[in-house]
Structure 1
Amino acid sequence: MITTLCYIEKDNCYLMLHRNKKAQDINQGKWIGIGGKLEPRESCDECNLREVKEETGLDLVEAKCRGIITFVQNDGYTEYMFLFTSDSFKGELKECDEGTLRWVSKDELDTLNMWEGDRIFLDCLRKDLPFFSLKLVYNGDNLVEAWLNNEKV
């Protein structure tokens, strides 16, 4: 599966989605960025724009692809996620049917319930790393291995 995830920035905050509305949600109770699955014939950029619009009501003016994250489950399932950031958008926030949207201070991120691997790529964004590749290996909900640009983290 191929997905996108976008961290929208404003006033030293990220727009975060608390996944608390959908039943049978793999992200239930977690805080994540904005994103979703690519549709047929859609580019990663198009998916990012569409998902942000659908989930937030915002139109991105510009977005930058910052890296690719490979998620691997011990059962062999693999997901490739293109990670974006944007600080250029227009429109008004709307209610999201997948969870609660909230602007969260970057200093507060470490206090949120999120996937352990998300903390690694958020740190890459915090350090303003150039385009990076991150491989995260999970056994269920537990991160068991992480590789950043082919170096074990």
Structure 2
Amino acid sequence: MDQIASSLTDWTLWEPDLRTTLIFVRRDDALLLIEKKTGLGQGKINGPGGKIETGETPAAGALRELREEVGLTAFEPQLAARLFFSDVEDLNILVYVFVTDQFDGEPQETIEAKPIWVDVKDVPYEKMWEDDQYWLPQVLNGESVDGYFQFSGERLVSFHVDPLGHGTPPKL
């Protein structure tokens, strides 16, 4: 399925209530994911990430969240996606997605997350946010994308994915 329904959101008027990050660490054909233990998405599988703090760049936020959630120090994160979410728990959320294969250490379980390595061919999309299946495969193939996702609670009701910077992005 490339897209579902037409969007209910006027993306040219959309503004984020919350700016967050995700970072996907690769080791050869393995991908670091986490089982989220607290907060938004608790119980789901995802990449490490979280809120960008005041005065922090998205890349710095992604690296900080990776350290806090699984104890890894990473380097040279590459922007792979910007994801625009409407109506996730009544919030508009902007997510900057980074990828890297440059890191030190081994992931450790924390109060926030349980780290798991998976083969990139075996990503457990059925345990992740519904939108992940529509953009993450492209990112794992080295593409960069903008994704626009309209939710109703935790249910995806419409979406479209464009090459990074080729759509009409909302106000950032």
Question: Does 2:158 match 1:145?
Answer: yes
Structure with more of its chain in strand, by fraction? 1
Q: Is the 8 A contact 2:70 2:110 kept in 1?
A: yes
Q: Secondary structure at the match of 2:63?
A: helix
Q: Is the 8 A contact 2:89 2:154 kept in 1?
A: no
Alignment match, 1:11: 28
Q: Secondary structure at the match of 1:97?
A: coil
Q: Secondary structure at the match of 1:145?
A: strand
Q: Is the 8 A contact 2:70 2:114 kept in 1?
A: no
Please give the residue correspondences for 1:73-152 in structure 2 after superposition, counting only pairs within 5 Å: 73=87, 77-110=91-124, 112-129=126-143, 131-149=144-162, 150=167
Alpha-carbon offset, residue 111 of structure 1: 5.5
Alpha-carbon offset, residue 75 of structure 1: 7.3
Change (3 A) 1:74 1:58: closer
Q: Is the 8 A contact 1:110 1:119 kept in 2?
A: no
Amino acid at match of 1:8: V
* Distance in 2 of aligned mates of 1:63 and 1:26: 23
Q: What is the TM-score of this pair, normalised by structure 2?
A: 0.78
Backbone CA RMSD of aligned residues? 1.9
Alpha-carbon offset, residue 110 of structure 1: 3.9
* Distance in 2 of aligned mates of 1:122 and 1:51: 19
Alignment match, 2:82: 68
* Distance in 1 of aligned mates of 2:157 and 2:22: 22
Q: Is the 8 A contact 1:4 1:35 kept in 2?
A: yes
* Distance in 1 of aligned mates of 2:48 and 2:125: 19
Amino acid at match of 1:58: L
* Distance in 1 of aligned mates of 2:89 and 2:105: 41
- Per-residue CA deviations over 1:112-136 (Å, capped at 9, x if unaligned) read 411110111212113322x321101
Where structure 1 has 5 or more consecutive residues not aligned to the other structure, the ranges are none
Question: Does 2:73 match 1:59?
Answer: yes
Alpha-carbon offset, residue 56 of structure 1: 1.4
Alignment match, 1:29: 43
- Higher deviation after alignment, 118-127 or 9-18: 118-127
Q: Is the 8 A contact 1:4 1:44 kept in 2?
A: yes
Q: Secondary structure at the match of 2:131?
A: helix
Number of equivalent positions = 147
Quick one: percent identity of the two aligned structures?
A: 28
